[in-house]
Structure formats: C-alpha cells, structure tokens
Amino acid sequence: MPLRDTSADHAAADRTFQVDLRGLVDLLSHHLYSSPRVYLRELLQNAVDALTARHAVEPHGNFGIRLYADGKVVRVEDDGVGLTEADVHTFLATIGRSSKRADRIAEQRADFIGQFGIGLLSCFLVADEIHVLSRSARTPDAPAVEWRGRGDGSYTVRTLPASARPRPGTTVTLTPRSDAGEWTRPQQVHALARHFGSLLRHPVTFDDGSGGSGTPVNPEPAPWARGFPTPGARSRALAAYGEEVFGFTPLDTIELDLPAVGLKGIACVLPEAVPAGRRHGHRVHVKGMLLSEQAEEILPEWAFFVRCVVDAESLRPTASRESLYEDATLAAVRDALAERLREWIARAAASDPDLLGRFLQTHHLAVKSLAVHDDEILRMLLPWLPFETTDGHTTLDEFARTHRTVLVTSSVEEFRQVAAIASAAGLGVVNGGYTYDRELVHRMPEIRPEVSVADLDPATLTAHLDPVDRETELAAAPYLAQARDALAVFDCDVALRTFQPASAPALLVDSREARHERTRSRLAREQEGGLWGDILGALRQEAPRAQLILNQLNPLVRTAVAIDEPELARTSAEALYGQAVMLSRRPLRPAESSLINRSFLDLLAHALRKDS
C-alpha cells in the first residue's frame, strides 16, 4: 500500500492509507459472515485474545472486558496487551493484502494479528466510523495509539500521550450507520453479548449509559466447570442448563469430558422421538466464545437422539468462525463423543432399567438404526428393544424365552395376515416390516445362540393348519370348485382346513413378492411377441398363487360349503375373499374393491328375496 506523509514533522504527522474497503465489506457480508451481528462477536474475540496475551505477560493480573451502548455509540474496552504504533500499521497492511483473496483471510486468522485485523473490518458491516485507542502493556511508558477509520476507505493513525489512556489495553468505539440500529441498540448489544460470551472465562460487563455500575454478561461459569455439594445437585444443574439452552426438559443429561482437547459439556437426551436420520445442530463454544448453534459435525449421524452444548480448547474454527474445520482433531473428537454416548447406554442398561425403558420407548428407532451398524450396541440392547410380535409388543429377549424358533415376516401386511392364526397355532412370529426390524431379528442368534430365526413363508404357516377328514373334503368339493372359478381372476386358489381361532372364517396367504411376480407374468402374456414380451418372458417364473384357506371350524364356512346354488356359492366365496383381503390391511386393487361391493349387494339382495 502506498504511504503518503502529510507533514514534514514525522512525529506529529497523521498517516493515511487507502484500502479497497467496499470490496472487503462485500466479501465479508456475502462470503464469510452469515449476519452483521457477528461484529460484536469479533470485537469480543479480539478483546479475549488481547487478555490472553496480557495474562502471558502478567499471569496474576485481574483483567476484564467492558461493553457500552447508548444508541449513539457502541464501545468495547479491554485490559488486554494493547497495541503499539508498529502493531497498528502491521494490522492495516494485513487488511489491505487480505482484500484481494478470501483464502488469505483464513490464513491470517491463525495468529493474533490476523484475528485483530479481520475482526476490526467486520465492524464496517454496521458502522460508518471506527475509533481505536490502544496502549501496549509490553512497554512501561508506551504512548497511546489512535486509529480512526471511515466508511470511505481511509483511516488515520497517530500517537498520543500516555495520559490519553492511563491503563494498557484497547478501546474500540463504533459510530453505527442509521440502517444498523437492529444490531446496535443497547438491548440488542446486551443480548448479543450474552449470546456469544456467556461462557467466556474473563469477566464481561455491559453498561447502557443509564448510570449503573454495569451488568455482568457472564456472571458464573458453565455448570460443568462449577463444584456442587452432591452428584444429584450437579445433575439437576446440568439438566436446568440444558433446558435453558435448548428449551426442553432432557430425558437425561450426559456429561462430556475430553481432557486431551480441553472439551467439556453436556449431551441432552431428547424427551420426544425424532425421525430417523434427522440431524440436530449442536451448540459449540471454542475457548468460551460461541462458535455455532448448528454444528452438526460434532457428532456422528446416528446420534440424533441428543443435542449437545460443548466448550473446547483445541477445535479449529473456519475463517468465518461459524463452523468447525474438518480435520483429524474433529474426527477424533467425534469418535470420542460417540463412545461417551455408548457408555451412557451401557450404564443405563446395567444399572438403571427404568431410565433405559423410558429411553427405548422414546428412541427405539434411533437405537435400532445404531444397532444395525454397531455390534457393541447390538449385543447390549437388542434383547431389550421392543418389537411387534404374535405375543403383542414385547422385547426379543422375553419373546425368545417362549419361542426357540422365531419366524419373521418381510412386511407389515404379511404379519397382519397371519398374526391371529399363527398365535393360535403356537408359532412365534415377529413383524419384520418396520425399518431395521427384520435385519435385527435375524441377528438375534448372535446374542442368543439357542434361538433360531427364519423368514415366514406360506408353506410354514399352512403346514401348521390341520386338514379336514376325507368325507368333509369330498362333500365340500363342488363348493370349492365354484370358489376357485370365481377367484381365478385374482390368481387365487381355495382350500379347506381347520385352525384356531374358530371365529376366523378365512385366511388369505399371499405376499407382496408373489403379487409382483403375478403382475410380471400377466404383462408378459399381454406383450407376447413384442420386445417387452421377450424381456418379461425371460424373467418369468412359475407365478406363485395366492391361497384363500377356509376354516371348517367356523359356522359361517360350514354353512357356505353346503350351498348348492351356483351363483350364491360364487357370491359367498367372493365375500369371504373380500373380508380376508380387508383383514390383511393391504391396499385394495380396483377389482377387489369392486368385488367387495358387488358381493355385499348380491348377498343383501339374496337375503331380501328369501325374506319375501
């Protein structure tokens, strides 16, 4: 940057540099920062850095930060290490060079000087003029240095007597623009200071010019950094802090402590279930300063049943200070925090079954998704997870005590078709149609080797249904023939068996895969000779048929198989098929809806004719 000396007297001269301020502010507002409110965070961060440097010089000093906002100015004053005139010129040169490339901004943030420069520039998001008055603590009789920047891109630097600032440190005063009132009103400045600086380790106070002594911004440390008389008191304090931060009462709080990276905080277990895969943002502070409220990257994807607030020493922020830099340290922290969550689940399983039960009742889907990919969680929690079974909603461990052979369906629809009959037949069937359930049930032998697991197929179920005697079979043959003819359009066979419960007139044994295969076969027949016919024909197998199994123990079925009127026999068979389809709760095809309506009306008409 060119330097213009405006006076022959070098000691008294004001020096003016020209910078591309418009381009820099545009870069910051559109490509680096998400909101103008970050100006206060940057000024607080500069003050914290300065205090850190001052403590390196004077370890036992009592230093702090003071904020002032009265609607006309915003002022941030610190007792930090302060600046020399050479420092100020270095900062300005750094700013000028950083204006041309965004990646240079990231490089400059690695040390104190770069951080100060960029932080100062962020104030131009809300201010037309910035005034800096600083005095270095490293030199006992150092003069005060004044820097004054303006919105036209120019600034001046001059030295003042030490009396202009009696104590070392830095004061930054902003003259806000008229359109920046949203971010510079006293109430908003106080709120932003609390938002960004509530966990800062240095005392911060706020004064709105009303004459008070100043309001503490961070009156007490984070609860994990304080002592408590009992573990219960500590637990309650952590839960209260989680509720204050996130707005919900945690099901439980998990204290997080990773000394290797200086990380402390809590994970709050959500009291309500959330959709699997939904990731929550976590609140991350770095050295006490709030970095992000939406830091998804701090935990693995499967940990969507918690929200965290942490403070870390060694995590690396990106140039914008609004997210975390993805590096080996962050990956190690993510793995370590995941291990803490696993340990909490293990402790609950071992020593607090009531808490574990409430957790699984709320977050069983989350745990199932975790167990699919985590063998340790699988071994620990699979026996405790609830599943829908023929014995009702129960855990696999309890279910396996009465069923050494566990059958699992591939869909909810199949389970609903067979549940009542399978239960009456003494079969143990688990509904595997929900997300993760079928895969997890098949892994049960890894935990309980004495249990065997198999997929339920129609042959398994029908093998447990008792055949009728030969005389009954022969007597029912004419009706069964009429029924098969009536239901041929649905590729459905009809058989007569006896099974419990006797109140069930019929069982429809069919699967989604079988219906797909029949549809493919039908399309192949319709496309005979064409290109699609060749393709589908090559895929064609012997299409499995559905099976309507009538229950001879049911009084209605015994009456139906004795019908000798052909039309009435067909109608009753259609009605029994329609009722069995509806019990399966699968979506009805248009032809099935039409059949149900027609058979109901035909039976009603027959009953009315009989009465007349």
Model confidence pLDDT, tens digit, residues 487-527 = 988 888 999 999 888 888 998 887 656 655 555 555 555 55
Give the chain's mean pLDDT: 82
Give me the residue label for tokens 């293990």.
Answer: 346
CA-CA distance, 180 to 186, in Å (whole number)?
12
Q: Choose the weakest-confidence range: 125-139, 164-178, 361-375.
A: 361-375
pLDDT of residue 344: 92
Q: Tokens at residue 207, please?
A: 């004064």
Binning pLDDT at 50, 70 and 90, where does residue 264 land? very high
pLDDT of residue 162: 84
pLDDT at 116 over 60: no
Q: What is the mean pLDDT of residues 581-595?
A: 83
- Range of 163-172, 234-243, 360-369, 587-596 with top mean pLDDT: 234-243
Binning pLDDT at 50, 70 and 90, where does residue 110 land? very low
pLDDT of residue 145: 92
Nearest to 260 by CA among 342, 328, 309, 318: 328
pLDDT of residue 320: 64
pLDDT tens digits, one per residue of 40-66: 998 998 899 899 999 988 988 899 999
Backbone angles phi, psi at 494, to 5 degrees: -130, 135
52 or 366, which is more confident: 52
Dihedral over Cα of 175, 177, 183, 186: its sign: positive
Q: What is the mean pLDDT of residues 13-28?
A: 51
pLDDT of residue 92: 55
Binning pLDDT at 50, 70 and 90, where does residue 269 land? very high
CA-CA distance, 133 to 129, in Å (whole number)?
13
Binning pLDDT at 50, 70 and 90, where does residue 267 land? very high
Q: What is the mean pLDDT of residues 225-231?
A: 93
How many CB atoms are located within 10 Å of the residue 175 CB?
A: 18
pLDDT at 441 over 80: yes
Task: Provide the greatest CA pair distance for the chain.
Answer: 127
Give me the residue label for tokens 């309890």.
Answer: 398
DSSP character at residue 612:
-
Q: What is the mean pLDDT of residues 288-308?
A: 89
* DSSP E strand stretches across 219-274: 253-258, 263-269
pLDDT tens digits, one per residue of 517-566: 555 555 555 555 555 555 545 544 455 678 899 999 999 999 999 998 99
pLDDT of residue 585: 73
Strands laid side by side in the 428-430 sheet: 392-395, 386-389, 428-430, 405-408, 452-455
pLDDT at 163 over 50: yes
Q: What is the mean pLDDT of residues 114-130?
A: 72
CA-CA distance, 91 to 132, in Å (whole number)?
12
Backbone angles phi, psi at 543, to 5 degrees: -65, 120
pLDDT of residue 511: 64
CA-CA distance, 324 to 368, in Å (whole number)?
29
pLDDT of residue 122: 79
Beta carbons of 334 and 303 less than 8 angstroms apart:
no
Backbone angles phi, psi at 208, to 5 degrees: -100, 10
C-alpha dihedral (378, 384, 385, 386), degrees to nearest 10: 160
Q: Choose the weakest-confidence range: 4-18, 27-41, 417-431.
A: 4-18
Phi-psi region of 71 (alpha: psi -120 to 50; beta: other; left: phi over 0): left
pLDDT of residue 276: 58
For 388-441, give the DSSP string. EETTEEEEHHHHHHH-SEEEE-SSHHHHHHHHHHHHHTT-EEE---STTHHHHH
pLDDT of residue 529: 54
Query: Cα Rg for the chain, rounded, in angstroms?
Result: 38
C-alpha dihedral (290, 295, 297, 302), degrees to nearest 10: 130
Task: Please state, for a pLDDT cut of 70, what percent of the chain lies above it.
Answer: 82
pLDDT of residue 574: 92
Angle at 524 between CA 519 and CA 528, to 5 degrees: 155
How many CB atoms are located within 10 Å of the residue 525 CB?
A: 11
Beta carbons of 384 and 363 less than 8 angstroms apart:
no
pLDDT at 3 over 90: no
Q: What is the mean pLDDT of residues 344-360?
A: 88
CA dist 210 to 40, 65, 132, 178, Å?
21, 19, 24, 22
pLDDT at 2 over 50: no
Q: Does the model's pTM come out above 0.75?
A: no
Q: What is the mean pLDDT of residues 133-143?
A: 89
CA-CA distance, 546 to 481, in Å (whole number)?
16
CA-CA distance, 315 to 286, in Å (whole number)?
7
